[in-house]
Amino acid sequence: MKRFTKQLLLASLLLLVFGCRTDDAKPNYVIEAEPQYSTVTAEDIPDVVDALNQAINFGASQGSTANLDHVTTPFGEVSMEDIFQVIDSLDNRNYTFKVDDRDNDPFTFTNLVLKKREDGSIDPPYLMVYETDSLHKEVFKSSGFAMNRFTGLIHKRYLQDFSSPQRNTANLGGSYSSIADGCGDSSYALNGEGTIGVINDPGTVNYWNDPTVGDGYLHCEYSIVPVVVRCNCKADLSSQCYCTKYVEKTTCSWIGPSTSVNNGSDCPPRESEEIGINEMSLEDYIRSLSLHEDYLGRDPWTIPAYLWQNGLINPGMAGVIDGFLETINSVYTIGEFILAWNPFNYSTRAMEIRWATWRFVEFLNGVKDDPQFWSQVWNEVKTEFGKYIDDTVGMDAQAVYNQGKLLFDVATLFVGIGEIKAILNGTKFSVAMVSMLQKLPTALSKVVFKAKNLNKLVQKSGDDILIQTTKGSEYVARISGDVMEIIYRGFGGNIKNSVDKTTTLIGRWSNQLEDIWKNGLALQGKNKGGFNILGDPPTGTPEEVWAFNKKWLEDAIARGDDIRVTADPLDINNVYFNRENISSTHFQSMNSLKSYLINISESSRQFEQLGFYGKEIRHLLKNGYEFNPITKQFYK
């Protein structure tokens, strides 16, 4: 178990060692003059990086930028490594830089793009912001964040005003005339299959009128296609390997009064048609989200305890977190986990494991960096949490920690591993965790919680929850959805709860109610959806005990509980503990028993000889209850 969680820490190391995935396939399209693709570093393009410095002023001195691995800008950290270079058919060089936009969200990422033209001039930089459509996030994630499965909006954002009237750029969706003349920010959509994207009106994207041709417009379609790129291998920076990257390709048509052309290179004036996409992969996010430095060097299994021992979270919440750690171990085996972090494994299962790892590490860091927020989360959980651990009030922190861990264990039984996996793969870990606890059926969760506290064996069997006294023994209760069935071999057979009310059980204590109580299958008092047994009466005289018992039963009557018996009310031995001078003829039918019991006074000898079950029967009959021999319930 501990070995597995240490793999969470190993993940970052694996990502530093491995990076690009290989792909023997070639690009699935051909253009007239096939462009060239490669990855470069700042050291390879010092003039471009210096031009970038002049444009956005990130503070490096002239000529020194080539030695930087990243630069900090108002819109994020720009990586100076793994720069995607596309040399197009016009010998223009398009450079795409990764930008860490600091939102820790792989469904939105940003690129910084510069174009160095054949004559050596460099256009002003601009940002390309990719935003996944909310309805298509799962598909995008399952594909390994493959950009040809991207569905969403792409936003182009200029960083400065500029003027270059000779250069109209079809694939950017606007002209370089000037900001005032319409060269502003724009957005367009892609459909997730790497084929066509449009702005505003599907099928038509109109940009400007060209007076040299007459009234008309430029219609552009966009697609994202995979390409094979020669890049630096992370394992050995001196070696070369091939990676799959993505290029945004534009096809344009000039629509005018007397002309219509369909080849991008014929669009007047001629312009390059491709820019590279340097997406922030999940590995980038994992790398940027290594465990908080305060966690480093610790045994991973001590992190939850560290959090509450240092006052960052409540001990109970720390126990819940510990439960998540153990559940990750049960959901993802060590072998699966290691295989998932193989950089060449882009299966759906691998991406699920990577994603869960990243979210959990992000969660742990959030706890460390924002303890105030987690105090608020605890307050939200506490209302739900407290009803399961009322009996731990006054316990020390370690005991509350253990109860928090037990609560999570109970939660997994009801919501299932699928729900836990959904939380690990979700975007709001804390909110999902609170929601999970709030979904638990209160009464049945209390039963399971109590049973586990009594060291009973509780386990899943398909969609059901089974409670056993010991391993290998027959189960004593089964929970199916919101229905609990107590396996009872005595009078009336198995006992089922009422979902919308408390089910109160009365009968003989020894070997009947006692067994149900000691197996943790009932609580004492109001328990909507569960069972109520007087399992913990006060000590005292028989009169004092009956006074308590009577009040307990009157509470059940007032609530309208279902009242189920576990012993035959027509068996004199169940009703009387002292049968002296008590005739068995009173027990021939419920009518004769009722006539007899309701007519004896509480000051009589016959009343004193009644057992507590007998007194309960008498009290119900005197309050207008009848007995149903089929359901074995008293009803009114």
Q: Tell me the three-class secondary structure of 440-472, residue by residue.
A: CCHHHHHHHHHHHHCCCEEEEECCEEEEECCCC
- For residues 283 and 361, state if they share a domain: no
> Exposed (0-12), middle (13-18) or buried (19+): which is 311, by Cβ within 10 Å?
exposed
Choosing from 222, 252, 287, the residue where a domain stops is 287
- Residue 69 lies in domain: 31-287
Q: Which uninterrupted H or E stretch holds 227?
A: strand 217-232
pLDDT tens profile 474-499 = 899 999 988 999 999 999 999 999 99
Looking at the structure of the chain, the number of domains it has is: 3
Q: Residue 320, exposed/middle/buried by CB under 10 A (0-12, 13-18, 19+)?
A: buried
Measured distance CA(205)–CA(217) in Å, rounded: 8
- The average confidence (pLDDT) of the chain is 74
Return the amino acid letter for 478.
R
Name the more confident of 503 and 460.
503
State how beta strands 562-565 and 503-506 pair. parallel
Any domain includes 450: no
Residue 197: pLDDT above 50? no
Confidence bin at 285 (pLDDT 50/70/90): low
Q: Are residues 75 and 222 in the same domain?
A: yes
Reference 355, options 301, 437, 413, 422; nearest CA is 422
Q: Which of 374, 409, 440 is the last residue of a domain?
A: 440
- Mean pLDDT check: name the lowest of 192-206, 312-326, 409-423: 192-206
Distances from the Cα of 324 to the Cαs of 7, 338, 380, 439, 606, in angstroms? Answer: 15, 19, 18, 17, 59
Q: Is residue 452 part of a domain?
A: no
Cβ atoms of 494 and 485 closer than 8 Å? yes
Distances (CA, A) of 320 to 168, 182, 456: 58, 55, 20
pLDDT of residue 96: 93
Structure tokens given for 281? 């992969």
**Domain termination site, one of 287, 308, 328:** 287
What does each C-alpha distance from 577 to 413, 551, 573 come to in angstroms?
Answer: 42, 21, 7
Cα 146 to Cα 70, 85, 111, 252, 557: the distances in Å are 25, 19, 16, 25, 64
Q: How confident is the model at residue 289 (pLDDT cuts 50, 70, 90)?
A: low
Of the candidates 313, 276, 306, the residue with the CA atom closest to the CA atom of residue 291: 306
Cis, bond preceding 300 (omega within 30 deg of 0): no
Question: Where does the pLDDT of residue 563 fall: very low under 50, low under 70, confident under 90, or very high at 90 and above?
Answer: very high
Residue 607 has pLDDT above 90, yes or no: yes
pTM here is: 0.55
pLDDT one-digit tens code per residue, 433-444? 677 777 778 788
Could you tell me if 237 and 331 lie in one domain?
Answer: no
Whether residues 594 and 629 share a domain: the answer is: yes
Which H or E run contains 217?
Answer: strand 217-232
Highest mean predicted confidence (pLDDT) among 10-24, 36-50, 507-521, 612-626: 612-626
Instruction: Please say if the pLDDT value at position 617 is more than 60.
Output: yes
- How confident is the model over 160-193, as pLDDT tens digits? 544 433 333 323 333 222 222 233 455 656 655 4
